[in-house]
Amino acid sequence: MTAADLNLTRILNRLQKGHPVEKNEVKYFLGLSDPYDISLLFETARNVRTGYFGSNIFLYGFLLVL
């Protein structure tokens, strides 16, 4: 497991525990290029969304990072 893998795992674990995402983490997510890493990010996002809203709500949103 590389340092980048450990960093991604650490961030995703924090998010699953309810910690807010930080600006530098959003930038890190936007820079992901490995399909496996991206799939982990999306899986975590779905799990967090389901934890807050269940499976009955579908959300769309826009993200602006300056």
Helical ranges in the chain per DSSP H: 3-16, 23-30, 35-53
> Per residue in 22-63, pLDDT tens?
999 999 999 999 999 999 999 999 999 888 878 776 666 777
For residue 63, the SS3 value is coil
What pLDDT band is residue 64 in, cutting at 50, 70 and 90? confident
The whole-number pLDDT of residue 29 equals 94
The whole-number pLDDT of residue 50 equals 87
| 21 pLDDT above the threshold of 70 | yes
CB neighbours (10 Å) of residue 58? 7
